[in-house]
Homo-oligomer: A and B are copies of this chain.
Amino acid sequence: MVSAVRAPQVRQSNLALVLDLLRRLGPQSRSDLVARTGLTRSAIAGLVTELEVQRLVVEAPPSSDGSPGRPSPIVRIDDRHYGVFAIEVLVDEIGAAVVSLDGAVVHSIRRARGRRSSSLASTVRDVAGLVRRLDEQRRSPVLGGDERNIIGIGVSVPGLVRRADNAIVVAPNLGWVEADFARSLADVLEHDLPISIGNDAELGALAESRFGAGVGASHLLFVSGEVGVGGGLVVGGQPLAGHNGFAAEVGHLSVNPFGSGCRCGAVGCWETEIGEHALLRRAGLAEFGGRRSVDELLARAATGDTRVRAALDEEAKWLAIGLSGLINVFDPDRVVLGGLLGRVLPHLRERLDAELVGRRFQHVSRDVEVLGAALGEQSTTVGAAELAFGDLLRDPARTSPRGSGA
């Protein structure tokens, strides 16, 4: 059944629109909202009042900005009343954070863990423990004194999440197959907060599009690379999930049929050419050296080390090969590079731009900006929070029957 529009839908949609505008464009006057939405002053008044009653926005007294006429009150997101728990599951670390409605990370704690303890059961246990500790800390008058109303939990995992049932189909680095993390976590935590779960790269894309380097873009292509390469497409503020919800695997675009085997099972995937291992190998550094080797590489790049320079040129070339293809297929107006790719971007920007220009379709100028990610390490956390805020953002009116603190 395709959704028909009913009468109450109108208000819901307009409330969501106003809230979205305030989040996207920041604080603005009622008159700005009138101009941007095309609604009348009285309609905006009603909507803003309702959002204010729900404690989703606050109105500041009008500030006279020098223009003639009666000044309009400034409306902005109320970041004090609502929050979500954002969970980040990594291979050797887990993190939990409280994120407010304006996308700010209010509290966060992390915890390292051995590679041995990455089973589903132990991960769920560890995450639950972390969430409980986070909740204590944030409420403690000394450490936080936070009385925010927590309305959901968002989880970021390095794996494929099936949209239909929120289950993890496969998470290669964790060794999980068909794991229903959300349900397991809900069983261990003893409250009824809704738990949503998403792919790390896709959530990074969402975060960058709403609060990072992708703000204002109509079609955003996000590519995040570490060892693996993931990404996502965000069109008009909403991520393109695909039929199953798997549409983030840009790392497994075939770019080199004569290349090396990929852990995904295919040959010559993009991530085998632009991933961390390839870059380190070409630079003559320890391929599996991890973050330390990457830091070393960046340090040497600054000094002009020739082998590192050559490796970065090669990286730029392969990056351009994949990107130009994706640009031809998607026609985005902005490309944001995250993770390792974002960090090395300044060192290969010139070469990358030249390669991209050379590969332009029919020399048609496309006005694609290529930027580094702006949220850094917080992008997946913020993305997980966006996921958890999803229900609220879609239907701001139904705030009443929501869970309070954990």
Please tell me the number of chain A residues within 8 Å of chain B, measured between CB atoms: 67
- Within the oligomer, what is the number of copies of this chain? 2
- Interfacial chain B residues near A36, Cβ < 8 Å: 1-2
Partner of A10, one of B5, B218, B324: B5
- Does A136 count as interface, using CB distance less than 8 angstroms? no
* Known contacts A14-B4, A255-B257: A249-B332 contact under CB 8 Å: no
Partner of A325, one of B3, B20, B252: B252
* Known contacts A4-B37, A10-B10: A362-B329 contact under CB 8 Å: no
Q: Contact between B328 and A249 (Cβ–Cβ < 8 Å)?
A: yes
Question: How distant is A187 from chain B, measured CB to nearest CB, in Å?
Answer: 26
Question: How distant is A313 from chain B, measured CB to nearest CB, in Å?
Answer: 14
- Does A316 count as interface, using CB distance less than 8 angstroms? no
**CA A192 to CA B65, docked complex, whole Å:** 47
Q: Contact between A242 and B331 (Cβ–Cβ < 8 Å)?
A: yes
Q: Contact between A254 and B331 (Cβ–Cβ < 8 Å)?
A: no
- Does A264 count as interface, using CB distance less than 8 angstroms? yes
Q: Contact between A329 and B38 (Cβ–Cβ < 8 Å)?
A: no
* Known contacts A321-B254, A331-B241: A362-B247 contact under CB 8 Å: no
- Does A244 count as interface, using CB distance less than 8 angstroms? yes
Q: Which residue of B lies closest to A360 (CB)?
A: B265
**CA A253 to CA B160, docked complex, whole Å:** 24
- Interfacial chain B residues near A55, Cβ < 8 Å: none
- Stretch among A74-82, A363-371, A394-402 lining the B interface: A363-371
- Interfacial chain B residues near A242, Cβ < 8 Å: 219, 330-332
Flag A346-384 by CB within 8 Å of B: 1 or 0 each.
Answer: 000000000000111111101100000000000000000
Partner of A330, one of B3, B247, B333: B247
Q: Contact between A362 and B4 (Cβ–Cβ < 8 Å)?
A: no
Q: Contact between B325 and A361 (Cβ–Cβ < 8 Å)?
A: no
**CA A333 to CA B162, docked complex, whole Å:** 13
- Interfacial chain B residues near A328, Cβ < 8 Å: 246, 249-250, 252-253
- Does A53 count as interface, using CB distance less than 8 angstroms? no
**CA A249 to CA B325, docked complex, whole Å:** 9
Question: How distant is A31 from chain B, measured CB to nearest CB, in Å?
Answer: 14
Q: Which residue of B lies closest to A252 (CB)?
A: B328
- Interfacial chain B residues near A70, Cβ < 8 Å: none
- Interfacial chain B residues near A37, Cβ < 8 Å: 1-2, 4
Best-surrounded residue of A9, A170, A361 (most CB of chain B within 10 A): A361
- Interfacial chain B residues near A240, Cβ < 8 Å: 235, 240, 330
Q: Which residue of B lies closest to A243 (CB)?
A: B333
* Known contacts A17-B2, A20-B2, A266-B359: A243-B324 contact under CB 8 Å: no
- Interfacial chain B residues near A244, Cβ < 8 Å: 331, 333, 366-367
Q: Contact between A364 and B160 (Cβ–Cβ < 8 Å)?
A: yes
Some 16 contacts from A to B, beta carbons below 8 A apart, are A2-B20, A4-B37, A4-B39, A5-B14, A160-B361, A219-B243, A241-B331, A244-B367, A249-B329, A249-B331, A249-B361, A250-B328, A252-B329, A253-B325, A253-B328, A265-B363
Q: With A246-B361, A257-B321 given, can you name 17 additional A-B contacts, CB distance below 8 Å?
A: A2-B17, A2-B20, A5-B5, A5-B17, A6-B39, A9-B10, A170-B362, A219-B242, A242-B331, A244-B366, A246-B328, A247-B331, A249-B361, A254-B359, A264-B361, A264-B362, A329-B329
3 interchain residue pairs of minimum CB distance: A242-B331, A243-B333, A253-B325
